[in-house]
Amino acid sequence: MAEDFIEEIYHDSMSIEYINEFVHLSYICKRRDARRAYNEGAKILENMISRIASSNLQLALDIQNTALEIAERFEDCGFAAGEALSRLLPLLYEAVAPLTHISVDAGSYVIKSADSGFLTLYDSGINMHIHDTHDPMWEAYNLATELYRPEVEQFYILGCGLGYLPYQIWWISGGASCIRVYEEDEKIIEYAYNYGVLGWIPEELIEVISGDAKYVSERFLKETHQNSNSCAYISDWKRRTFTENGYDSIVRTAANLELARSMHDITEVNRRKNLQLKSFSFDKIHDSLAYDEWIVVGAGPSLNDAVGFLRDSKGKRGIIAVNTVLKRLCIEGIMPDISVAADRYAQLEDHIRGIEDYTADVPLIADQLTNWRYTGAYKGMIVFVKTSAGNNEPEDSDIWKIGGTVSSMGIEAAARLDAKTIYLVGLDLAYPGGQKYAVGMPHHQENMEGVLVQVPSVDGNMVETSEVFCWFREVIEEQIATHNGIRFVNMSKHGALINGAEKFNRT
């Protein structure tokens, strides 16, 4: 458990958390649970009021009268929640204010009070607050409600902090979920028990994995990948820490987890809406197109140099266009044999708006989770494919193994169409000449964003690129290695070097 003086502060601070929870549950019409939360908060207030009265009688009376008024009008949820938010909570913050003057410099960390009375941590090494400076316990509650699913048996959390998130996962799940926390800094674990709330969780429901950064990160990745019925989370603080120390696998996993959370709801909508569309068999495409050589066309700036090659290839080589290049090809009068799409966001619709008729004779191979507005507007034949296994997926399901960039789907399609040679057009995966996309792309932009790194270029020099493009390149290289019987040719003059793809001979 935390130090005694911290426990006393946190006891009063929990009144704020219960009232916050009451408001939240009232808003989502969980009245029974809301009343339970309010009653828990009221128990704390009974003890607080008598103590506050000795130094601030008016504040004690205001808290008591407001709390009673809310309790008497529970059935009027709009009033009760509104009064709790607008009147009672400000009074409680005023009540705990005398307890919020802790600020201790502990080497590379600063331990200090948040407005709610709970402590927060500042990592001076990377100039970042580990927790919310207003109310870290409430911050953790909101995150926990986002992460929690009743079917999840195990939660894996990289980054201990002061234990607020593990505690809230335990609280919201009612103790039904086991929690495993991974932390390479022994000092942080000590803080979580002495100054945080990690000790509030029953010992049998939490395990703390410690060790050096390499051991902790590798174990986290291994165990999260092994358990499909689990939820994994990497705190922003740990994401930054591991970024600073070059742990690319953790950084990439953190980005993927964040992306999966942001897409969870729209993914289900896409799946449901796409099931309403007619899906053709991939065999229908396979049997109608017979080329030994295929071109996968991405949206990189080298597409500008390859327009003539694409025109000359029509009828000689198959052309597979990722969704982002369709408008450019339409302008150039080039009709691809196939297009591919996998993006789940609504912005995908921008790539087809205005060229719907152009797609009528171009079969589309799409991930079954592709944004439904795009697939709904597409006029050509659609072949929906699975790129990941669902929870109840049969073992013999045909899963298309792609990743990162939609160009990966184009490569997989060409391989399944028995390509002997695959030309990569517009897969620069870098910023040659300071350009990210070819002219005419819906997302064409002059300026690069984010952290830039130097990587070897096709031309033998170095070229600037992003961490995301580095990841995409690794995905493509792994895919090339998988299809080692196919010749790959990189058509880019100055883009990133792609291992396994030979340079195009322009002589």
Q: Give me the CATH number covering residue 188.
A: 3.40.50
Statement to judge: residues 399 and 323 lie in one domain: yes
Looking at residue 440, what is its pLDDT?
58
Same domain, 334 and 457: yes
Same domain, 119 and 209: yes
Q: Are residues 377 and 421 in the same domain?
A: yes
pLDDT-derived band at 149, boundaries 50, 70, 90: confident
Instruction: Work out the mean pLDDT of the chain and round it to a whole number.
Output: 89
Whether 178 has a pLDDT exceeding 60, the answer reads yes
Nearest to 343 by CA among 364, 319, 320, 374: 374
Residue carrying the six token digits 């000790």:
199
Name the band, by pLDDT with cuts 50, 70 and 90, for residue 471.
confident
Residues 185 and 92 occupy one common structural domain: no
**Domain stops at, among 271, 290, 322:** 271
Residues 25 and 144 in one domain: no
Average pLDDT for 76-86: 93
Dihedral sign (CA 469, 471, 476, 480): positive
pLDDT exceeding 90 applies to what percent of the chain?
67
User: How would residue 228 be classed by pLDDT, with cut points 50, 70 and 90?
Assistant: confident
Whole-angstrom Cα distance, residue 216 to residue 208?
A: 10
Indicate the residue among 271, 298, 315 that finishes a domain. Answer: 271
Q: Give the predicted TM-score (pTM) of the model.
A: 0.68
Q: What percent of the chain has pLDDT over 70?
A: 94
Amino acid type, 271: R
pLDDT 10s digits, 37-72: 999 999 999 989 988 999 999 999 999 999 999 999
Any bridge partners for residue 293, and if so which? Answer: 421
Segment 11-23 shows an average pLDDT of: 96
What are 296-329's pLDDT values in tens digits? Answer: 999 998 899 999 999 999 989 999 999 999 999 9
| 473 touches 429 (CB < 8 A) | yes
Residues 459-482, mean pLDDT to the nearest whole number: 90
Residue 74 to residue 452: CA distance in whole angstroms:
56
C-alpha to C-alpha distances, 305 to 302, 331, 405, 414, 494, nearest whole angstrom: 5, 15, 21, 22, 11
With the C-alpha atoms ordered 301, 302, 305, 311, is the resulting torsion angle positive or negative? negative
Which helix (DSSP H) or strand (DSSP E) does residue 275 occupy?
A: helix 248-275
Do 339 and 433 sit in the same domain of this protein? yes
Same domain, 241 and 321: no
Contact 321, 340 (CB under 8 A): yes
**Quick one: 134 and 265 in the same domain?**
yes
Nearest-angstrom CA–CA distance, 431 and 299: 12
Whether 395 has a pLDDT exceeding 60, the answer reads no
Domain region containing 27: 4-96
pLDDT band per the 50, 70, 90 thresholds, residue 84 = very high
CA distance 418 to 249: 33
How is 83-118 classified by DSSP, letter by letter? HIIIIIHHHHHHHHGGG---EEEETTEEEEE-TTS-
253 and 372 share one domain: no
> The tokens of 175 are what?
């103790």
Tokens 């008497």 -> residue: 72
Check residue 378 and give its pLDDT: 95
319 three-state secondary structure: strand
- Give the burial class of 230: count Cβ atoms within 10 A of its Cβ; 0-12 exposed, 13-18 middle, 19 or more buried: middle
Contact 158, 238 (CB under 8 A): yes
CA dist list (Å): 452 to 258, 372, 441, 449, 466: 21, 33, 22, 8, 5
Q: What is the model's pLDDT at position 393?
A: 53
Asked if 83 and 219 sit in the same domain, the reply is no
Please give the pLDDT value at position 448: 44
Q: Are residues 361 and 459 in the same domain?
A: yes
Q: Of the candidates 460, 448, 433, 467, which has an alpha carbon nearest to the alpha carbon of residue 302?
A: 433
Mean pLDDT of 436-452: 55
Q: What is residue 505's predicted lDDT score, i.e. its pLDDT?
A: 75
At which of 64, 96, 128 does a domain end? 96
- pLDDT confidence band for 242 (50 / 70 / 90): confident
Number of domains the chain is built from: 3
- Cβ-count burial 352-375 (b if 16+ within 10 Å, e if not): beeeeebbeebbbbbbbbbbbbbb
pLDDT at 444 over 90: no
Residue 87 pLDDT more than 90? yes
Q: How far apart are the first and last CA of the chain?
A: 74
